[in-house]
Amino acid sequence: MMDPKEMSNFIQSLTPVDVQKAYFGQPRKCMCGCSGTYSVNAVTGVDETYADNVNPAEVTRILRMIQAHEADAHVDDGYIVYADIGPASRKKAYCVYLDESRRVRDPKPVYANTESE
């Protein structure tokens, strides 16, 4: 399990190419795409699910927002980095799903700051 310093180092080490897909939308709502938007750097392989969602600038924006608010971020399942960011009444969900190569070994959820919110 990562301590807060390791968590910070991990989040700050991420680059846009580490991101398989990124999500921006309404917090604590369905994440199928009905309450937000997925973005990808490119469509790779045979999976064309996100062919209409190629937006590298948005992927970078979402990652940089999470990095700028790392205290609000947590890591789920070793590869989903999630943060609700913004003023209390207008928070937005920012999430990046990392490439397999950046998956953290310990799959337990880790929280940078359990006192947030």
Select from 26-34, 45-53, 69-77, 92-100 the region that touches Zn ion (CB under 5 A). Answer: 26-34
Footprint on residues 27-66 left by Zn ion (CB under 5 A): 30, 32, 34
| Phi, psi angle pair for 21, to nearest 5° | -155, 155
| Closest by Cα among 9, 3, 20 to 62 | 20
Q: Is 1 near Zn ion (CB under 5 A)? A: no
Please check whether residue 36 is in contact with residue 26, taking contact to mean a CB–CB distance below 8 angstroms. Answer: yes
Q: How far is the CB of 88 from Zn ion (least distance, A)?
A: 24
Binding site for Zn ion (CB under 5 A): 30, 32, 34
